[in-house]
Structure 1
Amino acid sequence: RDEDGYIVASCPVLPGCHSQGKTKEEAIANITEAIRGYIISMRKHGEPIPAGEVEEVEVAF
């Protein structure tokens, strides 16, 4: 959790792709939306999409 009590989520494969939520479920939903938006933006700008698979999901409180 950050200093305001929010759960912070990030996607290491996509630099700068971060989100947060008041609950674990909200943080997961928000980072999922952020990842989708990030990839849409990359496609729009002709940038290569990083290849990778989810190897680990870590939740820390």
Structure 2
Amino acid sequence: VILTEEPEGRLQVDKVLVKAEILLQDSSDDEKHEILKTLKRIKTMWEDTQINMVHCHR
């Protein structure tokens, strides 16, 4: 059941990436650093979630 939610999760992550690209265009170097750091955390959390979904919910 939880694996059926994976496409929705992917869609949400993609939305975040699009918004981040827009933010990065008009940000200072310090802001860009923070945005990129946050994006890395989000991507890592999503990858961990996907692994958990596959390994724990099959």
Pick the structure with more strand per residue: 1
**Higher relative contact order at CA 8 Å, sep ≥6: structure 1 or structure 2?**
2
Instruction: Decide which structure has the larger Cα Rg and report it.
Output: 2
Pick the structure with more helix per residue: 2
**What is the TM-score when the length of structure 2 is the normalising length?**
0.45
**What is the TM-score when the length of structure 1 is the normalising length?**
0.43
